[in-house]
Structure 1
Amino acid sequence: MSARARIVGWMLAVVGLALAVSIFATWTVLLARLDVRMNLEFTNEAEKLRRYAATAHDPHTGRPVSDVRELLTGYLAINSPDRWETFFSMVDGRADRITAVTPPARLDTDGDLIKVLAAATEPAYGDTESVEGTVRYAVIPVRVAADPRTGHFVAAVFYDRHRGEIVDAVRVLGLSALAALGLAGAAGWFVAGRVLAPVRLVSQTAEQISDSADLTRRLKVTGDDDVAALAATFNHMLDRLERSFAVQRTFVDDAGHELRTPITVIRGHLELMGDDPDERAETLALVTDELDRMNRIVDDLLTLAKAEQPGFLAVEEVELADLTVSVVAKARPLGDRRWRVDQVAEARVQADRQRLTQALMQLVVNAVRHTMDDDLIAVGSALRDGRAELWVRDSGPGVAPADRERIFRRFVRGSGRTGAHDGAGLGLAIVRSIAEAHGGGVRVADVPAGGACFVMTLPLART
């Protein structure tokens, strides 16, 4: 069963239960009120009869009524029953008079009921059955001092007729509830479809992506509810997947591109290697050098691949002054150069110390490759315009303006290198990846006195 059907089903179950409870409560309350209303009606009739008996006079003599039959007949003449009610009188155990309003059923002709009513010596209430269903009655004994006969006033209410009205009302209420439930189901189905549309789109997009290599599809995010949050999360996941697949493809392409040459060189020399020990030693040295170069290429490619993934940086608090001085100390054995610390920034940044050291050392190695003995290589750090800057500059031939952006791409080598110093062209790409992972960047700055100056910029606070 689909989520849409489950949602609508549960909604209809809850609404149906609520309607059923409300209808049952209405039924119970109406029946209880009917009983109360009938009891009040009987009490009211008894009170009216008392008041009439206390004030009734014979119209011919003007004296109080002394005949019980005349008293009851006079009361019936002035007191008309309400709908589905009937009044009648009894004298000496026999039915006497009945109201002029024709009742749904004649009770004064029921001999068994008359016997029960005639036996009442005080006001009593009861139920009886008739052709019109249950009848609720009240019998009130009446005596007149001057008349030895016993009279009874009987008020009866056709209970089933009143109950039938309640049944009809509850039936209409139930039918209305069913209609409302149907409308609620239709509206709920429509609304659930609209609300779950992004979820279905997520499912369809995921299915399409699983059947193809296209990771560029995205969901349209509208609103700020939970479904919109789901769509945004799904888009973020697709972003990461797309980046991961792109990194994977780039890694495979780069590895195939760069490792093909040393493998070809190694295979060619091994195929041509003869039995001469000197030739074997020379070939072994060349193969070892190529294998070392392959190892460096693989390490660099892995670094570039990791730079695109979460967890690439182990962030801590780094003192820029200590970092600057330590890089110069580590760089001195790389070559006979004039090493210098230009400037140190007395500040701390949230960064990965090992990655920053790796980037600066790569820039230093790059500077060594492009300088000669006794040339200047300087390292420095400073705070400028709310950002931290780390740089490595040298007094070498510098970088042509046309190459200043291009050299940071993968497998791009700048001009001015000698064959002995050729690398894979990944060093500056690694520097750029490390800088961008910190939220900064790297550029080649102008040096009026000549040479090259590579500047890394870092934010003082990472967001």
Structure 2
Amino acid sequence: MARLRRPVISARLRIISWMLGVLVLALGAVVFMTWQVLAARADSAADKELGHEATKFRTYAASPAAAAYATPEKLLEHYLQLNQPNDSETFFSIVDGRPFRRGHGSPPARLDLDPAFVQRVAGATGPAYGWADSVAGKVRYAVLPVRTGTQPVRAQLVVLEFRDVLAKPSRDAARALAIIGAITLALAGGACWLVTGRVLAPIRQLRGTAEQIGESDLRRRIEVVGNDDVAQLAGTFNTMLDRLEVAFVAQREFADNAGHELRTPITVIRGHLELMGDDPVEQAETKALVLDELARMNRMVDDLLVLAKSDRPDFLAPAEVNLTELVVEVVAKARPLAERTWRVDETADVVIVADGQRLTQALMQLVSNAVRHTGDGDRIAVGARVAAGQVVLWVADSGTGIKAEDAERIFERFVRGDDQTRTEGAGLGLSIVRSIARAHGGDVRVVPQAGPGARFELTLPEVH
């Protein structure tokens, strides 16, 4: 059982890994694209805020109130007092290359205390924009130079937009999406484990049945539930087992029957050869007996081969068969077998699709059987009719008849009637007749008779 479960679990893990891999790629792509979109929106929001603050400052600088300030540092000081930054931005002024005043609040990072950054923006004589790094992440900045009258630029207003602070809701959304994705993957993994278990259950049963068949017999079958692909696979496997069981049983019966029936003539031949002396008369008798036993063995092997082939698809070679011609031909072939009163009971001028040679073989076997059970002058009749969508072929005689308790048993292999001796046959003839009838989709039976004699009927489906 451990050997059985390991491959099934391995198959489940491979399926789940493949499905989860696809989900990971899909969710990863969704999270990545979402983050990219949200990051782009954060950059756009930072630029928009910078533009908004620049417009506000220019509007203020052009107002009559600003004209009252004689120096840029006074103008910037008053503007920083009026303008209240939000949590994601800050302002400070630079005068003569040094930080001068800072806006209200506590910014995420103090770039006004960063000498390198102050030096970079202090020399701007025209509006400038750019990116800078800080302990709070990326910063989008704008430098707005301030001049009074015709004096040279000696002061700047620096507006800072902390992009990572603006993007925090986006990061939170992306993180929530990633967490939801992880939970989804976990749930999907559990669902996949359950679903694959149910899907692979018939395959597990299939494998278990195959192993038990290899260890015991071919009689076990898989329970088919539903109408999906796995159920159809189980049905196909059961059909294959049916064919294998038939072939296995036929092979085993062939081997058992052949071994049982051939052992006796071989023993007889060996015994006579071992006891044979130098007397020419005795040698001639032994030779005749041995040849007779070998001929019987040859007939037995031929009959067994016919029975072994009867379950194969190529056993029949269907073609058009005229029932009248079939019956007349059988009677014509049977006349030389013995001095009997031969008769054609009835014929049907109907053409069916069947194997004419096999039907002739079956009828001739029934005729030979009738000859062995009748005497000179007894009647043997052959006939055919079509009724109720079935073809009925029969051989009837006026001989000793068949006991009621033997009516079914005589169709088994190596079963003979009570009045037959061993040299008259191996008891395979009626088994061959039944095999031919069943290969055509029909059967053979003994029809009870009110008087003496026996009547064997082959019933076949009518196929045009």
User: Which residue is 1:80 aligned to?
Assistant: 84
Taking only aligned residues, the RMSD between alpha carbons, in angstroms, comes to 3.4
Alpha-carbon distance between aligned partners in 2 of 1:379 and 1:41, rounded to the nearest angstrom: 110
Q: TM-score, normalised by structure 2?
A: 0.84
Alignment correspondent of 1:27: 35
Q: Which of the numbers 410, 435, 438 marks the counterpart of 2:437? A: 435
Of residues 365, 375, 386 in structure 2, which corresponds to 1:372? Answer: 375
1:280 corresponding residue in structure 2: 283
Distance 1:292 1:107 in 2: 116
SS at match of 1:311: helix
Instruction: After superposing the two structures, state which structure 1 stretch, 270-279 or 252-261, moved more.
Output: 270-279
Deviation at 1:287, TM superposition (A): 2.0
Shift of 1:387: 1.2
Distance of 1:274 and 1:444 partners within structure 2? 48
Which of 296, 309, 325 does residue 322 from structure 1 map onto?
325
- Alpha carbons of 1:87 and 1:391: their partners in 2 closer, same or farther (altered >3 Å)? same
1:186-216 deviation per Cα after TM superposition (whole angstroms, max 9, x unaligned): 4434433333233333333333333x33332
Between 263-272 and 371-380, report the one with greater CA deviation. Answer: 263-272
| AA matched with 2:384 | S
* Residue number in structure 1 paired with 2:461: 459
Contact 2:146 2:153 in 1 (8 A): no
CA distances 1:279-305 after superposition (whole Å, capped 9, x unpaired): 322232222112211211222222222
Alpha-carbon distance change, 127 to 329 in structure 1, aligned in 2, over 3 angstroms:
same
- CA drift at 1:435: 0.7
- 2:16 pairs with 1:8: yes
The C-alpha deviation readout for 1:141-187, integer Å capped at 9, x for no partner, is 45677999776443211234445665565455545544544444444
- For 1:365, give the aligned amino acid: S
Aligned partner letter, 1:44? H
In structure 2, the CA distance between the partners of 1:242 and 1:148, relative to structure 1 (3 Å rule), is closer
Give the aligned residue type for 2:357: Q
Distance 1:420 1:179, change over 3 A: closer
Q: Conserved in 2, the CA contact under 8 Å of 1:138 and 1:155?
A: yes
Change (3 A) 1:247 1:419: closer
Corresponding position of 2:45:
37
211, 222, 225: which one aligns with 1:222: 225
Q: Deviations over 1:430-462 (max 9, x none)?
A: 111111121111112245565322111111249
Q: How far 1:262 sits from its partner (Å)?
A: 2.5
* 1:3-42 CA distance string (max 9 Å, x none): 2332233333333333333333233222222211211222
Gaps (5+ residues) in structure 2?
A: 1-6
- 1:219 aligns to what SS in structure 2? coil
Q: Flag the 1:167–1:145 CA change in 2: closer, same or farther, 3 A.
A: same
Higher alpha-carbon deviation: 146-155 or 289-298: 146-155
Tell me whether 1:192 sits opposite 2:196 in the alignment: yes
| Percent identical residues | 57
Specify the SS of the correspondent of 1:396. Answer: coil
Report the TM-score when normalising by structure 1: 0.84
After superposition, give the CA deviation of every residue in 1:346-392 in whole Å (9 maximum; x if it has no partner): 33333222221211110111122222333332222221111111112
The residue correspondences of 1:13-162 to structure 2 (distance < 5 A) are 13-50=21-58, 56-58=63-65, 65-67=67-69, 76-77=80-81, 79-89=83-93, 97-110=101-114, 113-114=117-118, 116-141=120-145, 152-162=156-166
* Match 1:259 to one of 262, 265, 269: 262
Residue in 2 that maps onto 1:393? 396
The answer to whether the Cα contact below 8 Å between 2:345 and 2:382 also exists between their aligned partners in 1 is yes
In structure 1, the partner of 2:364 is 361
Q: Structure 1 residue aligned with 2:314, among 311, 315, 322?
A: 311
Structure 1 residues 114 and 250: alpha-carbon distance in aligned structure 2, compared to 1, 3 A threshold: closer
Checking the alignment, whether the CA contact within 8 Å between 2:269 and 2:293 is kept in structure 1 is yes
Equivalent residue, structure 1, for 2:3: none
Letter of the aligned partner of 1:100 in structure 2? H
Structure 1 gaps, min length 5? 59-63
SS of residue matched to 2:131 = strand
* Superposed displacement of residue 45, structure 1: 2.6
Match of 2:352 among 324, 349, 354: 349
TM-fit CA distance, 1:97: 4.6
In the alignment, which residue of structure 2 is the partner of 1:61?
A: none
Q: Secondary structure at the match of 1:222?
A: coil
